[in-house]
Structure 1
Amino acid sequence: MPVPRPTIGKSFDRSPEHADHLFIITGGPGSGKTSLIKALALEGFRHTPEAGRSIIQDQVATGGNALPWIDRQAFAELMLAWDLRSYREASRFAGRVLCDRGIPDVLGYLSLCGLEAPPHIRRAAELFRYNRTVFIAPHWPEIFIHDAERKQSMEEARATHQVMTETYAALGYDLVPLPLASVSERVSFVRGHISAR
């Protein structure tokens, strides 16, 4: 006997979920955010990994097409699924959790690509809320390098920073730029801001 399909209606309307203990660190590629999160993890902070890099590694390993240089829309859908799962898992933790990007980054990515964001992706960014304070790593040409997963140009990295700034601001988040400083100085900067909240 088939399982009856749910009726879409008011019973499925949801109020925004707020996970104030989840702090996003975002920015363009090659701006030092992942190195910062790794350093903070060594000091005991829980963290979620970046979706994009892991998805690229998995798709390359399995011969998949959901890659930013093949099918950007499919890549965005996988990022959304990854970030929703990360949100759910991190929400269960006690204490502060650092997120290497978040659900709004999927919106920013689609905007950067000139693609229309489907309604469900916009809804996800509005529904699943993080701490209002979002750390953003400025574009930093001196430390920008390419690697197996990072194929963006310097100009694309700069544009990504700008798009993420606009995307998060439009969603009502307060952006805190990270200083162009050493990893240890950035660790102290983030610690100071988080402990004040």
Structure 2
Amino acid sequence: MSNRYVVLSGCSGGGKSTLLTELRRRGHAVVDEPGRRVVEAELENGGRALPWIDLAAFARQAIGTSIADHETAGAWPNLVFCDRGLVDAAAALEHATGEPVLEQLGRQYRYNETVFLTPRPEIYATDAGRRHGFEDAIAEYERLERAYLMLDYRVVVLPKGTVEARADALLAAPTQHGRRVYLGRSRPCA
């Protein structure tokens, strides 16, 4: 496990990328979302490994990207904040195919014991890389929360509020193992 790799996961449209932009602005190392990078590459090259066309192929590519990110980040000093990660991709593959990959990959490639989830967004919007509906985003959130808890991560749900306040809460959160915690007045995505 690398306690230096901190994962931000949660609801699609919950502000992960905005929060990571703020952490990057504050000088922290950030790894962009593997799934978004896969989607961008597939759209650019006319590929079919897109979650709305072939979720299994998309998830396999996101797993490969996540593993490469995990290995690359090992050379970086200090904390590395990851926009999603291997657990998210493995949970997607297991959901799509039933292949039991989550536990093996999730235990082989570990992150900081505390995983931060963004709560449900106030306004949900699709875009070229996010075409699933709000109900699918909620179901994904619930799968991810269960996956991280099953893999013995401490799940912390970040508060709603300004991006600066969320970054402050994330950076100030203590690391303890094995519980679900809500910072501020946040509620889960459901």
TM-score, with normalisation over the residues of structure 2? 0.87
Residues 153-173 of structure 1: CA deviation (Å, up to 9, x unaligned): 111111111111000000000
CA contact (8 A) 1:112 1:159 kept: no
Partner residue in 2 for 1:124: 105
Matched, 1:167 2:150: no
* Distance in 1 between residues matched to 2:109 and 2:175, nearest whole Å: 23
Residues 42-70 of structure 1: CA deviation (Å, up to 9, x unaligned): 00010101011111111011111111111
Residues 136-184 of structure 1: CA deviation (Å, up to 9, x unaligned): 01112x2322111011111111111111100000000000001011111
* Distance in 2 between residues matched to 1:174 and 1:75, nearest whole Å: 27
Partner residue in 2 for 1:146: 126
Partner residue in 2 for 1:176: 156
CA contact (8 A) 1:23 1:133 kept: yes
Unmatched tracts of structure 2, length 5 or more: 177-190
RMSD across aligned positions (CA): 1.7
Unmatched tracts of structure 1, length 5 or more: 1-17
Cα distance, 1:185 vs structure 2: 0.8
- Whose RCO is larger (CA < 8 A, sep 6+)? 1
Residues 76-121 of structure 1: CA deviation (Å, up to 9, x unaligned): 11001000000001122110010101111012223444x21354x5
* Distance in 2 between residues matched to 1:102 and 1:143, nearest whole Å: 24
* Distance in 1 between residues matched to 2:21 and 2:99, nearest whole Å: 31
* Distance in 2 between residues matched to 1:177 and 1:39, nearest whole Å: 18
* Distance in 2 between residues matched to 1:117 and 1:138, nearest whole Å: 28
Amino acid at match of 1:145: A
CA contact (8 A) 1:57 1:149 kept: yes
Matched, 1:84 2:67: yes
Q: 1:95 to 1:195 in 2, by over 3 A?
A: farther
* Distance in 2 between residues matched to 1:53 and 1:72, nearest whole Å: 13
Residues 6-46 of structure 1: CA deviation (Å, up to 9, x unaligned): xxxxxxxxxxxx11111000012101111000111000010
* Distance in 2 between residues matched to 1:70 and 1:122, nearest whole Å: 25
Q: 1:124 to 1:111 in 2, by over 3 A?
A: closer
CA contact (8 A) 1:146 1:152 kept: yes
Matched, 1:38 2:21: yes
* Distance in 1 between residues matched to 2:47 and 2:69, nearest whole Å: 22
Partner residue in 2 for 1:190: 170
CA contact (8 A) 1:22 1:98 kept: yes
Partner residue in 1 for 2:35: 52
* Distance in 1 between residues matched to 2:141 and 2:154, nearest whole Å: 15
Partner residue in 1 for 2:6: 23
